[in-house]
Structure 1
Amino acid sequence: MSEEEVLEAKRLRGAARSVFETQREMVRADLGAASIGKRVATRLVGDGKVMAEEAADAASTHKTLLTLGALGLTGWFLRGPILAFAGNLLGYGDEDGDEPLVDAEPTIDAEPEQTLGTFGTRSGSRD
């Protein structure tokens, strides 16, 4: 390697080092302006706003599908009362129609079971 080539390589190395130092200082100044957490929060808020706008546009475009979906979900969550009402209208259940299809309070007709308590002793009713 000649002396001129060595000097050229040093000059190129110095220029590359200068560019690197400049970029490093720019990154440090940028990071000093806002923390990483603040940057993430800002980006999440911005992306959330964009998604909300797109959802609102889709909802306004497809109102019928949105209405059908809401009705379907409402029907699914209220299926028990709806089926009970339909059963009462159609006469399924008691002949009098006074009693609901489901007992309001369960009745207990059986004696309490004997179970093993602490330390292996029997608890419950004793004969």
Structure 2
Amino acid sequence: MKQILVIDDEDDIREIAKVSLQTLMRWRVLTAGSGQDGVAIAAETQPDAILLDVLMPEVDGLSTLKTLKQTPETQLIPVIMLTATGGIVSEQQYAELGAEAIISKPFDPGMLGDQIALALQWDSE
């Protein structure tokens, strides 16, 4: 069973993503409300992938991504950026920082799991 960590400062987004991925994909879903918490949870639990919001207070998604990629325990975990800010940072810039893919907000909860699986080239399980 796949395990996904959702890092987003918005309670609603975390809950929608969690319910969607648990119900439709049967994945185990962990959540964090900040970049700092997300890095700690990722290092401890070693999820199969991380869904990371770009715009968060204090430590934003790009800083969190850099920390994840520089931390030995988390550097190999694939990260997908979740963003409502199309155009501020290009897809190429995210890729250069180590992101596997970008999913735009608002996302379709019914398609979220398929988007993640497609981006990470996971076969349906």
**What TM-score, normalized to structure 2?**
0.16
Higher helix share: 1
Computing the radius of gyration over CA atoms, which structure comes out larger, 1 or 2?
Answer: 1
Higher strand share: 2
- Relative to the length of structure 1, the TM-score reads 0.15
Q: Tell me: higher relative CO, structure 1 or 2? Use CA pairs within 8 A at least 6 residues apart.
A: 2
